[in-house]
């Protein structure tokens, strides 16, 4: 009623009709133009599919290596970004034509560090990190760095695994190093999901990476603030990884990236269902180009294999094994403590997909204290933003001009920081001055202050165990029936009937009912009549639009609170926690892998237990390979000797770590010292018997164990 009074008081009866006429004419024209943009969006989607879903990079590039030529093959390729300026500005619209012509590299300083940029593979295609001139790529080129990019195709190769992709990316980085022999090791920038992929490379092969930059990257998957980060609860509410297995079965072994995109859109129904469309409708004369450029990337749904997606969900998002140091890859366990080069993390409080807690808490979980970071000679820097959303972290031109510009300019500088934890601040300069960047030392309490406590993460331990149980039941009882009912044709139909794809088909030229909008739009643009912003009906429209948006936000808020309540009611239940309980690990066994200085000084100190454990560790690590068969025999050996049986399990594990450090420091001296550790002849015979038992645990003596056995015999003077 107040709005009607406003209209009545502002206009006389004649003006009422004119205002209504102007508004209705404008609204009708906007509606037709809006529908024509929807038609163009659908056509762009179809054209994008027809062209093989090429990357949305603005920059031309040269292919360097193709992962499809590897064994095993993967759908990744390494490209080098080529910067060319024509009339001081590169015309992106002519990209396809220019890319086919011979191109020349910029003349870079051969000693300048190359930068490798990796975009997320989370339902969308690559290139969004370089879709604008003002982007990470643009800032890196402006700084004079050679820039490389990991591209990936829409469809993975059959049987492709995350392990295969990981090894391929390592080969790509090695090729970058080969091409720049005078430069320092390449810096790797990972956006969103690509951040944890970069972390895997850095932890697995610290010898090939320079500084690592993680932009909006989740590495602490269970973290979050109560009442604010509902996405972390969904894995538990859906029962864990079994749903991933189900969707992969329906895809005939392929997981549809549209499911991931739908999950992102579901986080903010107000934006998905109303705000984004209304913003286009209300600014239809100026928003068309920006909207269609973004939708070209947003609507390009990329696939993953069953093996890749299952590994990611099971080990990372539900299992949280990377943060806990239990992630198995390449027959090795990935430990983030192995990161040697500086790490720079960019996160935002406005990010509802990767909140700061998920981007930063892993620092505390992995190192525990700043003293440990310093002891391991590590440098960790984080940069926080107050409002920017998830995509804006690596898409926004404003962010690129400021934050990414300074991040890239700081890549070489942070190596000069003393080991420790720092927060990066960017103080904007005046019009004629550059930004000022500073690094302030921080403690773990500064990171933990961003969270409301870590107690709520205990419930997620039960989620991981429930997920494993549900997935085993699904794979054993239901999956065979689903697979038998699906073939490649049915899988394609299921993908094409996804609601996100249907919404593109319906509003394209594929639908003949869209033809009138195609014909009317040019005429309307030629005779466009825009209404004044002061028109009371325009104000009334905006108030109604805000009302719809607010109600959708209210729905989201109630839904999220309900999901959080249900999650806590289920996984906070003592019965669930008792049935699905994580195995208890003694605190004493949580010892840093790094050697303590006092351990090295004890190379000739100890007794029978220390000597036997040293022999066991030496045999187990022959050829730098831990043999499972020897590990399985440890308990039997300990139980067979009274002196060893007296050791608690935690003491025995600590003794193993201690002797491993001593052997690693000086294996020859450690073996020679066995005679001092075990002076009694009878004890030496017992120790040598254990050595023979270990080395002959298999059918044949492993390479290197026979010489080791001889060295032990000589050291014990037998």
Residue 22 has pLDDT above 80, yes or no: yes
Fill in the DSSP letter of residue 414: G
Domain at 61-222+320-453: CATH code: 3.40.50.1820
- pLDDT range class, residue 431, cuts 50, 70, 90: low
Quote the percentage of the chain above a pLDDT of 90. 50
Question: The dihedral of CA 536, 542, 546, 547: what is its sign?
Answer: positive
Task: Give the tens place of pLDDT for each residue, 99-144.
Answer: 444 334 444 567 889 999 999 898 888 888 777 777 888 888 888 8
Tokens representing 515 are 């033809």
**pLDDT band at residue 526 under the 50/70/90 scheme:** very high
- Helix (H) or strand (E) holding 361, with range, is helix 356-367
Task: Provide the pLDDT confidence category of residue 648 given band limits of 50, 70 and 90.
Answer: low
Determine the pLDDT at residue 574. 87
**Residue among 539, 589, 608, 452 at smallest CA distance from 2:** 539
User: Under a CB-based contact definition with an 8 Å cutoff, are residues 165 and 308 in contact?
Assistant: yes
Q: Is the pLDDT of residue 66 over 60?
A: yes
Banded pLDDT at 399 (limits 50, 70, 90):
confident
Q: Where are the alpha helices (DSSP H) in 11-123?
A: 13-50, 95-99
366 and 199 in contact (C-beta within 8 Å)? no
CA distances from 32 to 22, 39, 59, 504, 519 (A): 16, 10, 34, 17, 10
- Can you tell me the distance from the alpha carbon of 37 to that of 49, in angstroms, rounded to the nearest whole number? 18
- The DSSP call for residue 625 is -
Q: Which of 85-94, 191-200, 304-313 has the lowest mean pLDDT?
A: 85-94
pLDDT: is 643 or 280 the higher one?
280
- State what percent of residues in the chain have pLDDT above 70: 84
Q: Give the pLDDT mean for 598-615.
A: 74
Q: Which backbone phi and psi does 64 adopt, to 5 degrees? A: -105, -50
Which phi and psi angles does 420 have, rounded to 5°?
A: 155, -170
Nearest-angstrom CA–CA distance, 660 and 656: 6
Contact 200, 209 (CB under 8 A): no
Residue labelled with tokens 């919404």: 503
Measure Cα distances from 68 to 155, 164, 383, 522 in Å.
12, 11, 37, 45
**pTM: predicted TM-score of the whole model, two decimal places:** 0.76
Distance from C-alpha of 131 to C-alpha of 57, rounded to nearest angstrom: 5
Per-domain residue ranges for the chain?
Answer: 1-47+269-296+497-584, 61-222+320-453, 590-715
pLDDT higher for 686 or 64?
A: 64
Q: Are 64 and 79 in contact (CB under 8 A)?
A: yes
Q: Is pLDDT larger for residue 177 or for residue 125?
A: 177
According to the model, what pLDDT value does residue 711 have?
A: 77
Residue 145's φ and ψ, nearest 5 degrees, are -85, 140
pLDDT band at 653 (very low <50, low <70, confident <90, very high): low
Instruction: Count CB neighbours of 427 within 10 A.
Output: 9
Q: What's the chain's average pLDDT?
A: 83
CA distance 697 to 395: 57
Q: Is the pLDDT of residue 39 over 90?
A: yes
């Amino acid at each position: 009623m107040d709005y009607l009074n406003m209209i009545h008081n502002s206009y006389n009866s004649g003006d009422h009709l004119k205002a209504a006429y102007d508004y209705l004419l404008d609204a009708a024209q906007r509606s037709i133009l809006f529908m024509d943009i929807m038609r163009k969006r659908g056509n762009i989607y179809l054209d994008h599919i027809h062209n093989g879903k090429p990357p949305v990079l603005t920059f031309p590039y040269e292919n360097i290596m193709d992962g499809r030529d590897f064994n095993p093959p993967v759908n990744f390729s390494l490209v080098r970004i080529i910067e060319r300026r024509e009339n001081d500005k590169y015309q992106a619209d002519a990209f396809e034509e220019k890319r086919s012509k011979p191109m020349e590299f910029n003349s870079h300083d051969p000693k300048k560090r190359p930068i490798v940029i990796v975009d997320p593979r989370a339902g969308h295609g690559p290139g969004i990190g370089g879709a604008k001139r003002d982007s990470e790529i643009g800032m890196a080129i402006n700084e004079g760095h050679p820039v490389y990019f990991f591209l990936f195709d829409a469809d993975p190769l059959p049987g492709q695994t995350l392990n295969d992709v990981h090894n391929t990316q390592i080969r790509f980085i090695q090729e970058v190093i080969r091409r720049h022999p005078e430069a320092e090791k390449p810096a790797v920038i990972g956006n969103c999901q690509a951040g944890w992929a970069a972390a895997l490379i850095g932890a697995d092969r610290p010898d090939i990476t320079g500084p690592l930059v993680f932009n909006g990257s989740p590495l602490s998957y269970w973290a979050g603030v109560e009442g604010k980060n509902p996405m972390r609860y969904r894995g538990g509410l859906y029962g864990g990884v079994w749903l991933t297995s189900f969707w992969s079965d329906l895809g005939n072994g392929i997981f549809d990236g549209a499911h991931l995109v739908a999950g992102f859109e579901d986080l903010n129904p107000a934006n998905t269902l109303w705000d984004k469309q209304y913003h286009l409708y209300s600014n239809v004369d100026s928003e068309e180009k920006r909207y269609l450029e973004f939708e070209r990337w947003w609507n390009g749904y990329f696939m993953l294999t069953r093996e890749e997606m299952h590994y990611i969900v099971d080990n990372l998002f539900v299992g949280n094994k990377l943060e806990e140091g239990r992630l198995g890859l390449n027959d090795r366990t990935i430990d983030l403590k192995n990161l040697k080069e500086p790490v720079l993390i960019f996160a935002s409080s406005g990010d509802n997909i990767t909140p700061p807690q998920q981007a930063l808490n892993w620092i505390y979980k992995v190192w525990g204290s700043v003293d440990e970071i310093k002891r391991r000679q590590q440098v960790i820097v984080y940069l926080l933003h107050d409002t920017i959303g998830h995509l804006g972290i690596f898409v926004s031109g404003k962010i690129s001009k400021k934050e990414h510009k300074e991040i890239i300019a700081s890549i070489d500088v942070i190596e000069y920081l003393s080991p420790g934890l720092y927060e990066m601040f960017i103080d904007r300069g005046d019009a004629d001055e550059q930004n000022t960047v500073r690094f302030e030392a921080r403690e773990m309490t500064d990171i933990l202050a961003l969270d409301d406590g870590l107690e709520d993460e205990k419930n997620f331990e039960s989620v991981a165990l429930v997920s494993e149980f549900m997935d085993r039941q699904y794979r054993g009882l239901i999956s065979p029936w689903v697979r038998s009912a699906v073939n490649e044709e049915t899988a394609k139909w299921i993908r094409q009937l996804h609601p996100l794809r249907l919404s593109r088909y319906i509003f394209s030229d594929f639908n003949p009912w869209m033809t009138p909008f195609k014909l009317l739009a040019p005429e309307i643009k030629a005779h466009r009549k825009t209404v004044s912003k002061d028109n009371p009906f325009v104000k009334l429209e905006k108030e109604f639009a805000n009302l719809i948006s607010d109600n959708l936000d209210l729905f989201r808020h109630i839904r999220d609170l309900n999901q959080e309540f249900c999650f806590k009611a289920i996984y906070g239940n003592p019965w669930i926690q008792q049935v699905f309980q994580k195995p208890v690990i003694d605190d004493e066994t949580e010892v840093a892998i790094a050697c303590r200085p006092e351990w090295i000084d004890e190379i000739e100190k100890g007794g029978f237990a220390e000597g036997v454990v040293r022999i066991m560790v030496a045999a187990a690590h022959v050829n730098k390979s831990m043999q499972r068969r020897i590990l399985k025999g440890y308990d039997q050996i300990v139980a067979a000797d009274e002196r060893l049986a007296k050791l608690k399990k935690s003491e025995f594990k600590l003794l193993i770590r201690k002797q491993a450090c001593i052997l690693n420091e000086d294996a020859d001296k450690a073996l020679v010292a066995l005679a001092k550790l075990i002076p009694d002849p009878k004890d030496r015979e017992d120790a040598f018997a254990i050595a023979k038992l270990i080395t002959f645990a298999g059918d044949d003596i492993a390479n290197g164990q026979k010489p080791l056995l001889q060295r032990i015999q000589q050291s014990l003077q037998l």
